[in-house]
Structure 1
């Protein structure tokens, strides 16, 4: 099943869903992780999103993530190898191209970990850029309704621009 790109209005249940999933992950990963964060568009109040919960898990070493494959399988997560993203380990809950949860493991406080939080936190505190991003997402979802890869790539320049602005603010 290939799910089309549809941007839903913000749903406060996304935060509740994250808190439930976080509790389950803490039980499964039992002290072997440093931090769990709600990331992506579902983590930003007021931002429309594809209804997929993105969760970042910070670890000391990505090699340790191999130990989590079987425990995470027990709660519905499938490990997906993405050679083009060596800085993270990725797990999906739900069907291919129709996942409900995306679990991203990063080395805690690495550049990639920090960028996820920087982007999220910037949008949470800059309503004008949040509105622009929401509008871009809706336009790209319409343009690339059946092409998730192109939809994601089309957002890239905007995301990079936000990261530059956010970085300047913290310097």
Structure 2
């Protein structure tokens, strides 16, 4: 484990405050993959300091899964506290800072259709995102369960997208437990 350049933030900073959003599921759209590739290039062209990796995560990364039409991208960096290595470059590339919290930053497009989650390479959250994505790509039963859960939850009004995300936690945890079992871990 490396030593960060400086202490990380200790609280959640939600730039712009809570946002009430109309959330709606869309059938899987093959254009989501090409949108991801466009942003992957945009990010890799912008962030030139240090080593980064870029992955398409979230429901739009799972063929056949209905999703909110928001592309989620996972970017790992060497040091999350060294924002000068990545944040200014992403802001210059047209993204806006939305979340700054311990071990995580989130930037997004002004139209809110792309969310870029930033973590350090060895952050446990990285493995968890990829575990869920890869399992949903390969397991039709859990993919259907996840989609049904999202449809049920989206039939309610949510004052904040984070509340909607939190409501999915139990199902996501159960799916990831099955994913670990399937991998023999």
TM-score, structure 2 normalization: 0.82
Q: Which runs of 5+ in 1 are unaligned?
A: none
Q: For the aligned residues, what is the CA RMSD?
A: 1.8
Distance 1:123 1:20 in 2: 23
Among 103, 106, 124, which residue is 1:87 paired with? 103
Matches within 5 A, 1:7-18: 7-18=25-36
TM-superposed CA distance for 1:54, in Å, is 0.5
TM-superposed CA distance for 1:164, in Å, is 1.4
CA displacement 1:63-119 (0-9 Å, x = unmatched): 233432222112221123343xx1211112125xxx111111111132100000000
Among 48, 62, 73, which residue is 1:30 paired with? 48
Q: Which runs of 5+ in 2 are unaligned?
A: 1-18
Distance 1:144 1:155 in 2: 14
Q: Is 1:49 aligned to residue 67 of structure 2?
A: yes
Structure number having the greater helix percentage: 1
- Deviating above 6 A after TM superposition, structure 1's stretches of 4 or more consecutive aligned residues are none
Count residues in correspondence. Answer: 166
TM-score, structure 1 normalization: 0.88
Q: Kindly name which structure, 1 or 2, has the bigger radius of gyration based on alpha carbons.
A: 2
